[in-house]
Structure 1
Amino acid sequence: MKRTMPILPIIFMSILLIGSFPSITNACSCAELPGVEEEFERSQAVFSGKVVDVREKRSLKGELTKSVLFEVTNTWKGVKQSQIIIITGQGGGSCGFHFNEGQEYLVYAYESTMYGAKSLVTTICDRTNELSVLQEDLTILGEGQQPIEDVDLTGKHEENQLYIWVAIVIAMGILLIFIY
């Protein structure tokens, strides 16, 4: 018993010390979703479309994000091209919206640096959802317009992969220099 008594204050002080240096965490807290009109006003882009591709990317801040390539079906605001790339978080504390390839969505997006470089972003705090769920939104928004400019953003969406390969080749070159 006498041997455990000096250890207890050390354990207590250790717990107190660890607790006094909290780690930085991300948390996603959304108030009630805004109404259709309010969301439309604050969004830079409102469109419906099918998800063509979802890719994980690392932001400039080092956080993992998702880059989502859409084939635009209809547009109500800010989109003129047949394809568009939207950035979202991974989910959880980053407020990312989960998109499934092949699924159609009504997307409300805005320009932000939330996930790194300035880009169009959507989160779970926006009205973005599967198209079949947002029939009320479609009624209020009215008939959308077809995109007027046909584009193929597949190459731009894959450019992140090119940087990875360049980095691998450079790293291998440096490694070979040190070996020989």
Structure 2
Amino acid sequence: MKKKVLILPMLLIILAVMNVKPILTAACSCMAPPTADLALSEATAVFSGEVEEVKKNTKDNGKTVIFTVQETWKGIDSQTISVFTGNDSASCGINFEVGKEYLVYAHTMDSNGKNILATTLCDRTAELANATDDLALIGEGQLPTQTEQPADSSTNPYYLYAGIVVVVALIGLFIWKRAKKK
């Protein structure tokens, strides 16, 4: 009888401890991707390029992939571009490999007040060698003409706000010291 009495409180304690800090999980679920020509019209940017670098982001749950653009169909005209994707397939991220070429369908995403390009497993992004059907549907791309990625027009206002607060604080301190002298 004593064993039954001890088992119930132990189970309750274990359940309580397990719920104190839930384990973070992610899951990626996609509908069937649209045809290549429809994906081209819905995407913000479509290009083919070689992966130069993959950087893991510390702030966001993902990574930034730097591409050397070979051809462009829509949305960009620079020879290098960075695209965000999730860290792994559970967060719909694509496992880009340095040195490999991809056909990338990207869309705009808000990241800390900035619009960035992003792609997921739910897009038609694929290795270029596996994208021959897409290339047949979307036709030939154009060569990019700009040498650098265009500057982001949506700058982060936090630095501006912090600067204003510092200036106001300094003015207030100056006025307070003058008033204290008199």
Q: TM-score, normalised by structure 1?
A: 0.74
Show structure 1 runs of 5+ residues with no match.
154-180
Match of 1:125 among 119, 122, 129: 122
Q: CA deviation at 1:46?
A: 0.2
Instruction: Kindly report which structure 2 residues correspond to 1:10-159, keeping only aligned pairs within 5 A, or say none.
Output: 10-17=9-16, 23-59=23-59, 63-113=60-110, 117-151=114-148
Q: Distance between the aligned counterparts of 1:35 and 1:137, measured in 2?
A: 8
1:149 positional shift: 1.0
**For the Cα contact (< 8 Å) 2:78–2:149, is it kept in 1?**
no
Amino acid in structure 2 at the alignment position of 1:4: K
C-alpha distance in structure 1 between counterparts of 2:41 and 2:10, whole Å: 55
Distance 1:88 1:115, change over 3 A: farther
Deviation at 1:79, TM superposition (A): 0.9
Offset of residue 51 of structure 1: 0.7
Residues 42 and 115 of structure 1: CA distance in aligned 2, closer, same or farther (over 3 Å): farther
Contact 1:65 1:115 in 2 (8 A): no
TM norm structure 2: 0.73
State whether residues 109 and 117 of structure 2, in contact with CA within 8 Å, keep that contact through their aligned partners in structure 1. yes
Q: Distance in 1 between matches of 2:105 and 2:112?
A: 16
Distance in 2 (CA, whole Å) between partners of 1:82 and 1:140 is 23
Distance 1:124 1:115 in 2: 22
Does the 8 Å contact 1:111/1:119 carry over to 2? yes
Deviations 1:114-159 (A, max 9, x none): 6984310001111001001010100111110000112279xxxxxx
C-alpha distance in 2 between matches for 1:37 and 1:115:
31
Note the residue ranges of structure 2 that are not aligned, 5 or more in a row: 151-182
Q: Which amino acid aligns with 2:5?
A: P
> Computing the radius of gyration over CA atoms, which structure comes out larger, 1 or 2?
2
Q: Report how many aligned residue pairs link the two structures.
A: 149
Residue type matched to 1:37 in 2? D
Distance between the aligned counterparts of 1:152 and 1:113, measured in 2? Answer: 18
Instruction: Report SS of the residue matched to 2:63.
Output: strand
Is the contact between residue 89 and residue 121 of structure 2 (CA under 8 Å) also seen in structure 1?
A: no
Indicate the percent of aligned positions where both proteins have the same amino acid: 37
Offset, 1:94: 1.4
Map of 1:3 onto structure 2: 2
- Aligned partners of 2:81 and 2:149 also within 8 Å: no
- Rounded to whole Å, the distance in 1 between the matches of 2:16 and 2:114 is 37
